[in-house]
Amino acid sequence: MEKNLKRMATMHRMQVTGLELFYKQGYYNTSIDDILKHLSLSKGAFYYHFQSKEDFFISIVQNLIVQKVYSMLIEPIEGKEDPFNVISNCFENALETAEHNEMDYGFVLSNFISEFNRRNPEIMRYLKDILKVWEVNLISILQKGKSDGYVDRHVDSEGVAVYLISSYIGIRTLMVDGNCKTLRYKYMQQLRQYFKLLKQKEIA
């Protein structure tokens, strides 16, 4: 039991370091030797836990990236009422976190989707699954909002979900080299204006 816990702790430490390096430098610009140097581990130790660099990255997706996206963008809106208010608060909190993160190199999920697109279908499948869960979650809260009287019944929930994901990825990309606070403020102002157009109209 103790040996198993120690192995899990070592793997977690490797995954955290690996994610930081892959996020900063890119997957293809980061070698196993780079990771081992930061961890002070041997190649034997690496291959004891993982079969390959790709296997290592997939374990990072399954254990860390899923958790990051879920805790920041999915869990805060899951099953909630008043979707526009909930989504606005969720996005603003996530953007504010990025704003104060000196190690922010963009949105981790979109960075890797861009890097692996047409280069590694296996890894892309895992990344797209996260995107799909996020999209389905947004559609669900919007559909619930229609039933609860918050969202106009003519609103295309699927279209809005795609727009929200695209706009969030876009603003995160701009924030890397821009004035984070100003960009966040302008984005949130426009997002709230957009949501006003989608609200259920009150019947006079």
**pLDDT tens-digit profile of 17-55?**
999 999 999 999 999 999 999 999 999 999 999 999 999
CATH of domain 52-198: 1.10.357.10
Long-range CB contacts for residues 104-110, cutoff 8 Å, separation at least 24: 104/175, 104/176, 105/23, 105/24, 105/176, 106/172, 106/173, 106/176, 107/168, 107/169, 107/172, 107/173, 108/19, 108/23, 108/65, 108/68, 108/69, 109/65, 109/69, 109/169, 110/169, 110/172, 110/173
CATH 1.10.357.10 segments of the chain: 52-198
Mean pLDDT of 185-195: 98
CATH 1.10.10.60 segments of the chain: 1-50
pLDDT score recorded for residue 204 = 38
**CATH topology for 1-50?**
Arc Repressor Mutant, subunit A (1.10.10)
